[in-house]
Amino acid sequence: MLDTYREVVTPEGVALHLPAAGPVPRALAWLLDLAIRLGIVFVSAMVLGILGRSGTGFYAVVLFLVYWFYPVLFEAMWDGRTPGKRALGLRVVASNGAPVGWLAAFTRNLLRVVDMLPMGYAAGLVSSLLDPWGRRIGDMVAGTLVVHDVRTAAPTPQPFNHVMAPPVVLQPYEQAALVAFAERGPRLTQARQEELAELATPLTGARGTLAVTRLYGMANWLLGRR
């Protein structure tokens, strides 16, 4: 399965594009978490082994907590990310894009016993390959989704004081498009601003950063900043 996007429309009418993660990055994150859990178990065995037979009971409690509550605690308290998911840039969210809660985190991890059937997470793998958003059975029941935790770069400041008259008379809808670009541009990355600005190359006669600068200048002229 190729990684894809799940579109969710909020009650406010805002469309969210959730980049769903496929089985490969999820499996790598699980392996990292498994290594950490095995390390915790190994260290606990060494420490509790000093207590002799009295440490057996404590060791059983540690095994129980590490197996069942390690992913639940991290997902519910660390923004849906276990250490393995954080290293792979993944996190668990609710199906509507909201942060995952305690009940959902517990449910999706409790149902791992079903995803493991008949062996080696076979049921979970088949489910994630058939589902459009790579969800295993636990995710479907809990109403959760594992997504790529995309971090956008800070937008590059633009020369707002630049003023440039449009070379031709613009129609009202064209003026509105320029003003909208100037208002929303600072929230976009530099690459995205240049991509949009190059759509207006016949108007600006430029490409790249120069096209962005000229569009800002024309928007400032339309807004009377001259």
Please determine, for residue 24, whether its predicted confidence score (pLDDT) is greater than 60: yes
Q: Where do the DSSP E strands lie in the chain?
A: 4-9, 15-20, 90-94, 144-148
Question: By three-state DSSP, how is residue 145 classified?
Answer: strand
Q: Which neighbouring-strand residues pair with 18?
A: 6
* Cβ proximity of 71 and 54 under 8 Å: no
Contacts of 170 (CB under 8 A, 6+ apart): 178, 222
The vertex-90 CA angle with 86 and 94, nearest 5°, equals 120
The vertex-15 CA angle with 179 and 103, nearest 5°, equals 145
Matching residue, tokens 């990055």? 25
147 phi and psi, to 5 degrees?
-125, 160
- pLDDT tens-place string over residues 52-91: 777 888 888 899 899 889 999 999 999 999 999 999 999 9
Q: Which neighbouring-strand residues pair with 69?
A: none
Tally of CB atoms within 10 A around 141: 15
Question: By three-state DSSP, how is residue 159 classified?
Answer: coil
Q: How far apart are CA 57 and CA 53, in angstroms?
A: 8
- pLDDT tens-place string over residues 113-123: 999 998 888 99
- pLDDT tens-place string over residues 173-195: 888 888 888 888 887 888 888 88
* The overall pTM is greater than 0.85: no
